[in-house]
Amino acid sequence: MDFPEELKYSKEHIWVRIENDSAVIGITDYAQEELGTIRGIELPDEGDEIEQDDPIGSIEAHKTVTSIYAPFSGTVRSINHEAIDNPELLNDDPYDGAWLAEVTLDYPEELKNLLSAEDYADYIENSD
């Protein structure tokens, strides 16, 4: 499994790429592998306010639907319409082509709750 070093990770299997005053989020390689073939994605609307740890959408896979939890609080600047239209992108390219949303960082201090790539890999190893 791939966990790029430059990203941060939540225990709910969301990756975060910080870009100035906002961050791009998506699901991890581990999450897409555990879910299997992804068939649908629901995301918040652009302009929606999200709160850390609250559900902000869902992913439908072959036999399950799972919630997407906000790794931090902010306002949704944009969503990846291509991933919504082609949810299988999450299985093919979870870190680049299949990002989910770009969100402002209302409280940058919330990022301290995220894990490094190494810590996330350890978390997965110890939770199985």
pLDDT of residue 97: 83
Task: Evaluate whether residue 72 is within a structural domain.
Answer: yes
pTM over 0.75: yes
Question: Looking at residue 4, what is its pLDDT?
Answer: 94
Is 3 part of a structural domain of the chain? Answer: no
Residue 69's Cβ-side half-sphere holds a number of Cα atoms within 13 Å equal to 12
**Number of domains composing the chain:** 1
Could you tell me if residue 44 is inside a domain?
yes
C-alpha Rg value of the chain to the nearest Å = 13
Range of the domain at 69: 8-127
> Please, what is the end-to-end C-alpha distance for the chain in angstroms?
14
Q: What angle do CA 74, 81, 33 make, to 5 degrees?
A: 85
* 25 vs 16: CA distance, rounded Å: 5
Examine residue 75 and state whether it is found in any structural domain, yes or no.
yes
Task: Look at residue 69 and tell me if it is in a domain.
Answer: yes
How high is the pLDDT of residue 128?
62
Domain with 39 in it: what CATH number? 2.40.50.100
In this structure, is residue 123 part of a structural domain?
Answer: yes
Is 1 part of a structural domain of the chain?
Answer: no
- Tell me the H-state helices in the chain: 29-35, 81-85, 89-92, 117-127
Answer yes or no: are the C-beta atoms of 117 and 9 closer than 8 Å.
Answer: yes
2 falls within a domain: no
Low-confidence stretches of the chain (pLDDT beneath 70): 128
